[in-house]
A and B are shown apart, each in its own frame.
Chain A
Amino acid sequence: MKFLRPIIVLTVSTWLLVGVAYPLVMTGISQVVFPWQANGSPVRIGTTVVASRHVGQYFDENQYFWGRPSATIPPYNPAASTASNLGPTNRLLISHIVQRIHTLKATIPGLRTNQIPASLVESSGSGLDPDISVQAALIQIPRVAKATGLSPAVLKHLVDSQILGPQFGIFGVQRINVVQLNLALYKLVHRG
């Protein structure tokens, strides 16, 4: 079988090149050039790693800002990323959204449905979306203010300071990383 030799040589040589050398050498280069990003962009308080910069976390306590609904089990589980995959005419999709609206209205005094951004009651693609819209943060201020004792004005200032513009001013959308926002809030509360 005259193809045997070239098949073996092709497979072994390309495997060494792109199956082994490429990932390993690139890992080495990345660890030198971008050590923080290459290791999961860890965010620390003191020496404790409390977050990964781009990965969302689950917040359901009144003293924190909440992120978008997550379909992972448990919510915001990066080791098992998934979307809900519910179709647009699925009864479950609508009941999940209605339920989420009720929860928000029950915990935020004076909240009207037409103030709630759709993205805050619709689950994300990965279950790990760290971002919410600015409006989604602003409407939660009354609840957070009541639970933390901080004044709405201080919280408004905090939210404003956490707004991320479109990347390089031109790509993506204005948003707030809810994990970063809550970390800033945590520092504010635990300092004073």
Chain B
Amino acid sequence: MSTQTVITWIVVIAVFAFTVKPLGTYIAKVFTFQPTLLDKPLTPIENTIFRAMGVTRQSAMTVKQYGLALIFTNVVWMLGAYFLLRVQGIMPFNPQHLKGINPELAFNTAASFVTNTNWQAYSGELTMSYFSQFAVLSYLQFVTPATAVAAAIAFLRMLSGKKMGNFFVDVTLVVTRLLLPMAIVVALVLVGQGVPQSLGPYLHLHTITGQTQTVPQGPIATWEAIEHLGQNGGGFTNANSANPLENPTAFSNLIETISMGLLPVALFYTFGVMTGRKRLAWTLIGVAGVFYLVMLALLYFPEMAGNPIINALGLHGHANMVGKEMRFGMGGTSIFETSTMAFSTGSVASAHDSYLPLSSLSFFLGMFLNMVFGASGSGLLNMVMFVIITIFLMGLMVGRTPEFLGKKIEAREVSLASIAFLMHPLLILVGTAIAVASPIGLAGILNPGPHGLSEILYAFSSAAANNGSAFAGLNAGLPFYEVAIGVVMILGRYASILVMLLVGASLARKRAVPETSGTMHTDTVLFGGILLGAIVVLNALTFFPVMALGPLAEQYLMMAHHLF
């Protein structure tokens, strides 16, 4: 392992380790309305917005109101985005004179960006005007992570016995207090590294070989900043963060990697602060951290060993560089890709379709679990869902009443958590099954053999997990995929958020039971181990068969030098 790889990994993990506590505490302060650093400039602006809404900072909603407000607001955003994409041709900031978007693609793209998935069935530089990029899609990259963080905060308020808060206030505060200040800093750093930030036309070059070259421009740095800080992941261009225009240096790669993880990791600590269970928060951070390191190793080592079929040709060096960029090094590339799958971002600094089958297990692991910190807000909700299921299983095994945060876990909570858990494999496996059983689904495959199944499985996993990255060989531009993926993204997003809000409401209604010597403790290393084991077993039982047919089958065939 090179020195640069080790240093890059240590820097990324150290930044998460040193920011988790201060940032997590800051988030808790913002949403319990305690004084914070940015009060002076921001409070007057926010108060003006709240007055215009007809609400106050402290006004509270019921769980039904909160859920409905969340849904209605998202519907408005989705319809607005759909409409603005359709009429792109007559909107301003369109120096390349790009036309309006067709209905299937506009639906797919609106669904994709409103669900924080950022699945892209188009090439940004060929399809989207600057206006569509910054005023439609990049706008959604702010407010959709804000939606999930708001839901998670509301959930934490219910767990801690407080009033649920107001959806509109919470979304506003996520934007003004978290995303916007961070995005301003990150965008400036990225411009300094060489990411364009302009509204001028594409750059026309005359090369020394007598050719011409057209280099896209645009407000790319502001896009990159929120793309990563909000775990959105949609690229300004088709190649996403592999493109030197979006990610020009090893340092910009590091900044984008760190940007993805800041909020998801810190929110785990916010859970501890708001519920008063910091030790439990550290346990959950530890469990997610173990999965993160496993994913990193699972990605890095097979790629360094390389493809045996190519190695047999006798070239200099073995590492698999197909679909990778030189400047990040394997260390920078692997931690970027680990982060994008762990934090459910979906931006890519290399072509996932060209990874070796064994390393692709790391991608699938991230999407199946969807709680290795996960996207801001939704990752935390998924983690708590697994905690509730694990506590229930533990209770069954030792014959005690399961308790979580001093509240009894009963049939209603377990049923709801199970629905949230099962929804995910249901969407992935049924979606994949329909696609592979139909000629229109099979028509989208680029790579034959087991890899083709992996391409389709990846697409539905990415949609259900609201990740948004792709085995990009799959032709996502087919109307079948545009519609099917769009539907899966919507169900994957809202089903789990709403169900977990109901879990929170159900727990909030219960009376706390006093802790006794018979209480099972959840803030111990033992519980962390059991939680980790339960997550592994539940997911292995669900996904092993399809993994065996896709990546594992391909791995064995590759070792036997079999080509398709």
Q: Which residues of A contact B (CB under 8 A)?
A: 3, 5-7, 9-11, 13-15, 17-20, 22-24, 26-27, 29-31, 33-34, 37-42, 45, 48-59, 61, 64, 68, 76-91, 93-94, 97-98, 101, 113-119, 121-133, 135, 166-168, 170-173, 175, 182-183, 186
Contacts and interface: CB of A to CB of B under 8 A. Distances in A.
11 contacts: A13-B52, A14-B175, A18-B179, A26-B219, A39-B196, A83-B239, A85-B446, A85-B473, A98-B313, A171-B251, A175-B327
B317 A18 contact: no
Majority-rule SS of A interface residues:
mixed
A10 B309 contact: no
A55 B55 CA distance: 50
Interface residues of B, number: 127
Interface string B499-528: 000000000000000000000000000000
Interface in B231-247: 237-239, 242-245
Interface of B: 2-4, 7-8, 49, 52-55, 68-69, 72-73, 76-77, 80, 123, 125-126, 134-136, 138-139, 142-143, 168, 171-172, 175-176, 179-180, 183-184, 187-188, 191-200, 202-209, 211, 213-217, 219, 221-223, 226, 237-239, 242-245, 248-251, 253-254, 306-307, 309-310, 313-329, 332, 348-351, 353-357, 446-451, 454, 471-473, 554, 557-558, 562-564
Contact of A10 (B53, B214, B324, B558): B53
A172 B208 contact: no
B58 to A, nearest CB: 15
B126 A80 contact: yes
Contact of B310 (A118, A132, A167): A118
Contact of A5 (B4, B53, B329, B554): B53
B223 to A, nearest CB: 8
A84 to B, nearest CB: 7
A86 to B, nearest CB: 6
A171 B49 contact: no
Contacts of A124: 242, 321, 323-326
A55 B307 CA distance: 28
Instruction: Please indicate which of the listed interface residues A18, A49, A84, A183 has the most CB atoms of chain B within 10 Å of its own CB.
Output: A18
B238 to A, nearest CB: 5
Instruction: Please indicate which of the listed interface residues A59, A61, A90, A133 has the most CB atoms of chain B within 10 Å of its own CB.
Output: A90
B323 A19 contact: no
A171 B123 CA distance: 30
Contacts of B168: 6-7, 9-10
B244 A56 contact: yes
A42 B203 contact: yes
A11 B211 contact: no
A19 B7 contact: no
A27 B197 contact: yes
Contacts of B209: 57-59, 61, 64
Contact of B208 (A54, A94, A119, A182): A182
Contacts of B245: 40, 54-55, 78, 81, 128
A15 B198 CA distance: 19
A34 B317 CA distance: 38
